[in-house]
Amino acid sequence: MPEPSSPAEFQATGSGSSGTGAGAPAELLVSLQETVSLAHAVSLPALASLLRRLTIAVHSLPPSESVIEPMAADLRRLCAVMRSSVGTEPSEVVSEVREVVRDLGRSLGILMLEPAGVRDGMAALHREMMAARFEGPEGRWGGPVPDLEEAVVRIKSGEEMEGAIAELGFLVREVLVREEDGPGVVSVLVNRLGSVKDGNRLRILSLLRSLAALSEENKEMMTSIGALSNIVRSLSREADERREAVGLLLDLSEISKVRQRLGRVQGCIVMLVAMLNGDDPSAACDSGKILGSLSSNTQNVLLMAEAGFFVPLVQYLKEGSDMNKILMASAISRMEITDLMKASLGQEGSIKALVKMFTNGKLEAKLSALGALRNLSTVKANIPRLISAGIVPPLLQLLFSVTSVLMTLREPASAILASISQSELILTKKGVASQMLSLLSLSSPAIQCHLLQALNNIASHPNASKIRAEMEENGAVLLLLPLLAEGNPEIRVAALSFLYTLSKDFTGEMADLVGENHLNILVDIISSPASENEKAASVGILSNIPVNDKKVTELFKRKNLLPVLINLVEVSITKTSVSTRRWLLESIAGVLVRFTIPSDKKLQRLSASHGIIPCLLKLLSCGSVAAKAKAATSLAQLSQNSLALGKIKSPRWFCVPHPAEAFCAVHNSHCTVKTTLCLVKAGAIPPLVQVLESKEREADESALSALATLLQDEIWECGCSAIEKASGVQAIIGVLKAGSLKAQMKAVWMLERFFRINANREKYGEAAQVLLIDLAQEGDPTLKPMIAKILAHLQLLQMQSSYF
């Protein structure tokens, strides 16, 4: 093949005038380079050679405008002709190409006026372009046809690889490689594939595809594990190479031994699945066809499933032999796959097939199907599919079975019930909860644990109030109480959690069922080094017992529960896991309400002496909105008695004078946190205001109730001043806009007192009046009388007005 990049006829170019090449337009040079590439693409090396020499000619001279424009137009025509013919035989475009090349030659003729040294070279190129024919192998190659044996030897040795591959490519495209030479050529190319550069790999893959199309013997040379491994490596490389490699594998997959071997080539199926899900439509289509042909082998199907392609596996589950169904189901049960992949398996239709297999199959089929369903049931997206497939009745039937051979199936069956009970759809299956409850005392520990979890899940659904009532009527509490002392910690935690859920509906009667012995057990669990979940559930149960039950309160005092709970708040804030902390703090805050009831001042002061008020303040800052609401309720209950406690005179024998800082301007007495339960001295006003300033509204009413205790008739002016200093007025005005009706009623009552003070009217009146008028017009009618009073304070309405 002639080397066009440094033609002798232009050797004088480099020593030309200083202006050489200065006028060569970049666009024209880029266009020439693109045309050279296209010439190779349509297998016209001779044309590529002429165009390279023309590039040097244009680059060497400052062509005139009269040459640039026609030459650029001719190049555009040539590019269009070659682009339209990519993939066709060269002979089909020869006449059009020849015509355009002659036009380029005519444009080149204008440059014949250049200096003599270059003009001779130009003339030679001009003559060749005008005489170019591109017909026959010699014409298309531009000289003597390359020697096959020589090209193969150069490829084998690695010398001048690009040129040798180009020559071999020309010979293959021109069908100049004899059939008996094909296998030897293939062998050399396959061996070279693993040790050449990217571009050459792509060209070799293209050659192998062409050779594979020529004869079956050529294909046979590509079927060894070594050859297939070299081809498969290209599946992980850049897009063009991947596309060529997968196309070659598709061609080879027609051979039975290739289909048998491809699955054993490391990474092959994984990469094919990746390409199937990729963004290259051509490669994805070819990958899908190969995977389809490989799916006749069950081992390949399992590899595909592990890579995330489940269609063949599900097909086997639906239509395969009994043994293959068992194989696929067993594989699903063992697979460590992501939740997304489990959901994908369910979406592909595996669940319905597995339920059918479990219902109708023999023991081995039932066992493998249950294992698979258990694995898939851990994903919420699959739970509706399980329920709609009818899994619940056969699972319950299995649990009630006393057939010895089915005993091994009961544990996975109960585990599936525990999973699917997380969906509210389980509530549509009547009698499920009562049936599971009747099995509770008759089951092994593992099954008992799953049943407790299932029952707790069912009872926890917001719309399950009727089912919870039925459970209680059927003796659920009495069944659970003995399990509180269970030695198996998993069963104990599950029983505590279920009892906690039921305790949310506790009446006095239900609380009596728990009894002193079991209350002692719950307190002991809280005091012991038990798990976080055990403590959270135990405290939660105690928080749901009615606070007016004095016997329970006395028991808690005897068991010294309050200091334990206060210490537990400290520990849980710093050490408890996030998932349990919220539950635990909300439950503790609920129990603390019992220790602060305003009717028992003695209990309140005892609680204060143990440090309940600092504990409540911690809950205000660290707890959830529910914990904050309960903590604020306790503070409100304590503060209700502060004024009365401040009036109690000290005994005559108590002669120690009060420190000046103990005087409270709000209560007009000497206050302390422990003796008069004073919110002001406790520093509770700022955190209560912060509760009102947050976006969560559930604690508004409780926080307002606590602050409202500072606005009692005797102390309201001083209380207004203390709250205003903590920016409380703005926060209370904010409740008007977004709070609940009860919170709005409390806020309006408080604002009426604030706006009795002239300074507050001037500072906050304008901000409040728009909200107040809107609330009067659009809010609940019960708010109107109090709003009328506030508007009168703001001089927007006469106090005697009957507007409201």
Token look-up 């719309």 returns: 463
196 contacts 204 by C-beta, under 8 angstroms:
yes
pLDDT in tens, 438-479: 999 888 899 999 999 999 999 999 999 999 999 998 999 999
Mean pLDDT over residues 90-94, rounded? 66
Q: List all residues 6 or more positions away from 690 whose beta carbon is below 8 Å from its beta carbon.
A: 620, 621
pLDDT exceeds cutoff 70 at 553: yes
pLDDT in tens, 691-732: 999 999 999 999 999 999 999 999 999 999 999 999 999 999
What local confidence, expressed as pLDDT, does residue 22 receive? 44
pLDDT exceeds cutoff 90 at 639: yes
Which ranges constitute the DSSP H helices of 13-93?
26-41, 45-60, 65-83
Mean pLDDT over residues 621-631, rounded? 94
What local confidence, expressed as pLDDT, does residue 345 receive? 94
Mean pLDDT over residues 150-171, rounded? 78
CA dist., res. 313 & res. 324, Å (int): 9
pLDDT exceeds cutoff 80 at 65: no
CA dist., res. 190 & res. 230, Å (int): 7
What local confidence, expressed as pLDDT, does residue 578 receive? 79
Mean pLDDT over residues 285-295, rounded? 94
Helix (H) or strand (E) holding 127: helix 116-131
Pairing of strands 669-670, 663-664: antiparallel
Helix (H) or strand (E) holding 707: helix 700-708
Task: At 696, list the tokens.
Answer: 């969560």
Mean pLDDT over residues 40-52, rounded? 72
- Cα–Cα distances (Å) from 711 to 326, 641, 704, in that order, read 75, 13, 11
Instruction: Look at 110-114, 125-129, 271-275, 358-362 and tell me which has the smallest mean pLDDT.
Output: 110-114
Burial bucket for residue 585 (CB in 10 Å: 0-12, 13-18, 19+): buried
pLDDT exceeds cutoff 60 at 63: no
What is the residue type of 118? V
CA dist., res. 159 & res. 20, Å (int): 35
Task: At 366, list the tokens.
Answer: 């039932």
Give the chain's length.
Answer: 804
Burial bucket for residue 611 (CB in 10 Å: 0-12, 13-18, 19+): middle
pLDDT in tens, 490-531: 999 999 999 999 998 877 777 788 889 999 999 999 998 878
pLDDT exceeds cutoff 60 at 174: yes
What local confidence, expressed as pLDDT, does residue 14 receive? 36
Long-range contacts of 642-650 (CB under 8 A, 24+ apart): 642/667, 642/671, 642/676, 642/677, 642/678, 642/679, 642/709, 643/667, 643/712, 643/714, 643/715, 644/601, 645/601, 645/605, 645/675, 645/676, 645/677, 646/670, 646/671, 646/676, 646/678
pTM, to two decimals:
0.74
What local confidence, expressed as pLDDT, does residue 717 receive? 93
Burial bucket for residue 223 (CB in 10 Å: 0-12, 13-18, 19+): middle
CA angle, 209 then 215 then 216, to 5°: 95
649 contacts 628 by C-beta, under 8 angstroms:
no
Q: Which of 479-488, 631-640, 657-666 ranks highest by mean pLDDT? A: 631-640
Q: List all residues 6 or more positions away from 139 whose beta carbon is below 8 Å from its beta carbon.
A: 46, 132, 133
| Cross-strand partners of 670 | 663
What local confidence, expressed as pLDDT, does residue 657 receive? 52
What local confidence, expressed as pLDDT, does residue 455 receive? 96
Mean pLDDT over residues 158-175, rounded? 75
What is the residue type of 333? S
Instruction: Look at 154-158, 553-557, 566-570, 673-677 and tell me which has the smallest mean pLDDT.
Output: 154-158
pLDDT exceeds cutoff 60 at 343: yes
pLDDT more than 90, % of the chain:
54
Helix (H) or strand (E) holding 670: strand 669-670
pLDDT in tens, 759-791: 999 999 988 988 999 998 888 889 888 998 889
What is the residue type of 672? T
Provide DSSP, 176-233: -S-TTTHHHHHHHHHHHHTTS-HHHHHHHHHHHHHHHHH-HHHHHTT-SHHHHHHHHH
What local confidence, expressed as pLDDT, does residue 660 receive? 55
Model confidence at 347, in pLDDT bands (50, 70, 90)?
very high
Domains defined for the chain, CATH in brackets: 8-141 (no CATH), 595-647+662-793 (1.25.10.10)
What local confidence, expressed as pLDDT, does residue 654 receive? 43
207 contacts 172 by C-beta, under 8 angstroms:
yes
Burial bucket for residue 554 (CB in 10 Å: 0-12, 13-18, 19+): exposed
- Cα–Cα distances (Å) from 311 to 318, 319, 378, in that order, read 11, 12, 21
CA dist., res. 159 & res. 490, Å (int): 72
Q: Which of 717, 718, 726 is nearest to 685 (CA)?
A: 726
Model confidence at 139, in pLDDT bands (50, 70, 90)?
very low
Model confidence at 182, in pLDDT bands (50, 70, 90)?
confident
Q: List all residues 6 or more positions away from 196 whose beta carbon is below 8 Å from its beta carbon.
A: 161, 204
pLDDT in tens, 219-261: 899 999 999 999 999 999 898 889 999 999 999 999 999 999 9
Instruction: Give the number of other Cβ atoms within 10 Å of residue 210's Cβ.
Output: 16
Provide DSSP, 597-656: -TT-HHHHHHHHHTTHHHHHHHHHHHS-HHHHHHHHHHHHHHHTTHHHHHHSPPPTT--P
- Which of 170 and 620 is assigned the larger pLDDT? 620
Instruction: Look at 129-138, 452-461, 580-589 and tell me which has the smallest mean pLDDT.
Output: 129-138
pLDDT exceeds cutoff 60 at 89: yes
* Phi and psi angles of residue 214, each rounded to the nearest 5 degrees, phi first: -80, -35
* Phi and psi angles of residue 90, each rounded to the nearest 5 degrees, phi first: -55, -35
CA dist., res. 553 & res. 550, Å (int): 5
DSSP 657: P
Q: State the chain's mean pLDDT as an integer.
A: 85
Q: List all residues 6 or more positions away from 654 whose beta carbon is below 8 Å from its beta carbon.
A: none
CA dist., res. 587 & res. 426, Å (int): 28
DSSP 391: -
Task: At 458, list the tokens.
Answer: 């069912």
3-state secondary structure of 238: coil
CA angle, 579 then 582 then 584, to 5°: 100
Model confidence at 653, in pLDDT bands (50, 70, 90)?
very low
Q: List all residues 6 or more positions away from 378 whose beta carbon is below 8 Å from its beta carbon.
A: 339, 342, 419
pLDDT more than 70, % of the chain:
86
